[in-house]
Amino acid sequence: MKRSEINALIRDAKAFFDSFQFRLPPWAFWGPEDWKGKGGAEVVRHQLGWDLTDYGAGDFERKGLILFTLRNGDLADPEAKKYAEKIMIVRENQICPMHFHWAKTEDIINRGGGNLVVELYGSTPDEGLSDQPVTVLVDGLARQVQPGGTVILAPGESIFLTRGMYHRFYGEPGKGKVLVGEVSAVNDDNADNRFHEPQARFPHITEDEPPLHLLCTDYPKFV
């Protein structure tokens, strides 16, 4: 992805968050120079902040995600948080591809906007797609879903995803962009994503202009 495209998407994301009066922490608006000397901060160590990916496909509108990690812990540190929180924007028909987590459990929450479509499969012992139904909790109530079936979350609704449960999601066509929250166990995007079809988690960036705000993957280059 070009840095200019990333900058434009971050500007759009800030406006979308503001439209719901969802406020980000002050450091969300820092420029690259503001991060100098901050390498020891929890923000940097736990990869908080802006995160954007096209999953290596080069077509963000079709397959991609922009999110902001508000808090996260570290399982190796007994004094660190044991939970994480993210806020995301999912566009109509913009796919977050099929994957599961070995360690993380999570609530995916529709915080506002359009409807979020969540497609589900169980996993087999060899990490394939199961042909058996799955039982999920939707706002604390059990629901059985056939393999490849969907749960559509309207604003205010949520789903609990267990370890090893394959899921992909996208915004329902004709309903608009979705403000999506995630509350989870500690998040590790470097080691805890099992994509059904192998793909990159983070984008390759072509630097055609300076960063507006740093992505969490930019910290090693700037702090």
Structure confidence by residue, pLDDT tens digits, 52-82: 999 988 999 999 999 999 999 988 888 889 9
pLDDT of residue 179 exceeding 90 = yes
Note the pLDDT of residue 108: 98
Radius of gyration of the chain from its Cα atoms, rounded to whole angstroms: 17
Percent of the chain with pLDDT over 70: 100
Confidence of residue 1 (pLDDT cuts 50, 70, 90): very high
* Total domains present in the chain: 1
What length is written for the chain? Answer: 223
Res 146 pLDDT > 90 = yes
Residue range(s) defining the domain that contains residue 206: 3-222
Q: Report the alpha-carbon distance of residue 39 to residue 114 in Å, rounded.
A: 38
DSSP state of 129: B
pTM of the model: 0.95
Residue 98 has pLDDT above 90, yes or no: yes
Mean pLDDT of 143-172: 98
Q: Is the pLDDT of residue 150 over 90?
A: yes
pLDDT at 76: 85
Q: What is the pLDDT of residue 198?
A: 86
Structure confidence at residue 19 (pLDDT): 98
CA 106/CA 151 separation, integer angstroms: 15
What token pair was written down for 62? 């079709």
Which amino acid, residue 20? Answer: F
Check: CB of residue 135 under 8 Å from CB of residue 93: no
pLDDT tens sequence across 186-220: 999 889 999 999 888 889 999 999 999 999 999 99
The stretch 100-110 carries a mean pLDDT of 97
- CA–CA separation, 125 vs 12, rounded Å? 41
Please report the pLDDT score of residue 77 as a whole number.
86
CATH number, domain with residue 203: 2.60.120.10
Average pLDDT of the residues of the chain? 96
- pLDDT value of position 69: 98
